[in-house]
Structure 1
């Protein structure tokens, strides 16, 4: 099998927190580029957040307990379509959000570690560490920080937090904001009229074998084209 990702195939986006998964979301490959991969998931796709065994989420759990505990997958359905652009060498991904009817309504800049794209035995993935602080961008290119209070509070507990470089995270956010204010890609209107291939079947509703492989799948990432 090719070691590149294939348009139409399913990959699993995984967010990590100190070697523990916090999110698994199946998406379909739209295209792979030399420096990035473009992915799609329609509204209604089933994803998994990982909560404490008693059901508590991150907001209800002290950070030291959260960071040191194994957690269990809890399924939920996303309520909007998402076109997600993941670079291999940037400290963020950009998501285009669409209504269930297919209308673009917002960009979302997820500040995160550069994506590691990999393929294992029967599974492909995109792995990153989510840095919590994000930038929300409206169609008129007005923007706002998201989750800044939580980000600052967690930085005060460095022994338990998976973010150790506040300046790097904020630089990534400011880079995004610069692109927004300049009106250049990805905030120039590109992909806002995206429609998925109608032949694509629904994304899988269950966690696949191999979803819990270590970050990067423990294998060599696919070769860039």
Structure 2
């Protein structure tokens, strides 16, 4: 069978056979016009006043719908109004994308040292996958920090037995460090920070060895003191080795066996830096937050200045950590 291609042919009366694409285009146009006409008619009927007069003849003479009761529009109009409201609600929900993994969602990064809260800073969710999540911390963000006694510069310098049993009060402040993008791999005892300086210039990576528990919008961080600095050329060095050794064995921190595991975690991440594999492969070094993101507001006063006991670290994608999202 020979297939004859569609073509434009002129008949004797001036009519022509139209290609399927023309018919499809006209059909779509008619449907669109019909939809617009329907919506205009519906909205017009909703805006049209209803005559409450007892005389239907007078109402019809004025071209107005009538009602026999107190209702201001017909049942069909009410049903249509509900339809429109439902459509508008669906459109707004899609636009807002209100899900637990919503990009830009504000989370609370709570930093604990020896079981005591040191800082609570709001961060924005950049990305969440089964492998982990990325969050953005902006310099100058309103936050809460521990109100230390006079003469103390950092909570880690105060011995646990010298701290109040109920924890220190907190005071309002702003995040004093530079912008940072945090990668928090699921199930890992560390996070990796991309550090940015002025004009968003990438300054290198920072590996924070930690224990992380996710509770709804709260990310509770137990700091393990020992950290790693990684330069842009991927050379690296340990940080705070002496204070890590001094805290090892204290009941508020970690045992000698746990110290070995903490250092092993750091060694593993350092090998990634040496190999130039993710997160040290150059990705995300040019990250810029969306222009629509504003500085997060200061969160409510932290309700727990002491870290709640928990034996199992959770990831942002685990069921336990998402039940309150």
TM-based fold match above 0.5 = yes
The alpha carbon displacement at 1:20 in A equals 2.8
- In structure 2, runs of 5+ residues without a counterpart are 1-96, 311-318
* Cα RMSD, aligned residues only: 2.6
The alpha carbon displacement at 1:3 in A equals 6.7
8 Å Cα contact 1:94/1:108 also seen in 2: yes
8 Å Cα contact 1:112/1:130 also seen in 2: yes
Cα distance in 2 for partners of 1:87, 1:216 equals 22
The alpha carbon displacement at 1:53 in A equals 4.6
TM-score (norm 1): 0.83
The alpha carbon displacement at 1:44 in A equals 1.9
Greater relative contact order structure (CA < 8 Å, 6+ sep): 1
Cα distance in 1 for partners of 2:137, 2:157 equals 28
Cα distance in 1 for partners of 2:299, 2:124 equals 15
Task: Looking at secondary structure, tell me which structure has more strand per residue.
Answer: 1
Residue of 8, 12, 30 corresponding to 2:104: 8
Cα distance in 2 for partners of 1:216, 1:169 equals 19
Task: Looking at secondary structure, tell me which structure has more helix per residue.
Answer: 2
The alpha carbon displacement at 1:19 in A equals 4.2
TM-score (norm 2): 0.59
The alpha carbon displacement at 1:10 in A equals 0.6
**What is the aligned partner in structure 2 of residue 28 from structure 1?**
124
Cα distance in 2 for partners of 1:86, 1:102 equals 21
Establish whether residue 44 from structure 1 lines up as the match of residue 137 from structure 2: no
| Structure number, greater radius of gyration | 2
8 Å Cα contact 1:51/1:72 also seen in 2: yes
**What is the aligned partner in structure 1 of residue 210 from structure 2?**
112
Deviations 1:83-104 (A, max 9, x none): 0011230010000011131111
Cα distance in 2 for partners of 1:15, 1:77 equals 12
8 Å Cα contact 1:53/1:72 also seen in 2: no
Cα distance in 1 for partners of 2:244, 2:220 equals 21
The alpha carbon displacement at 1:39 in A equals 0.3
**What is the aligned partner in structure 2 of residue 222 from structure 1?**
322
Establish whether residue 62 from structure 1 lines up as the match of residue 155 from structure 2: no
Cα distance in 1 for partners of 2:293, 2:231 equals 29
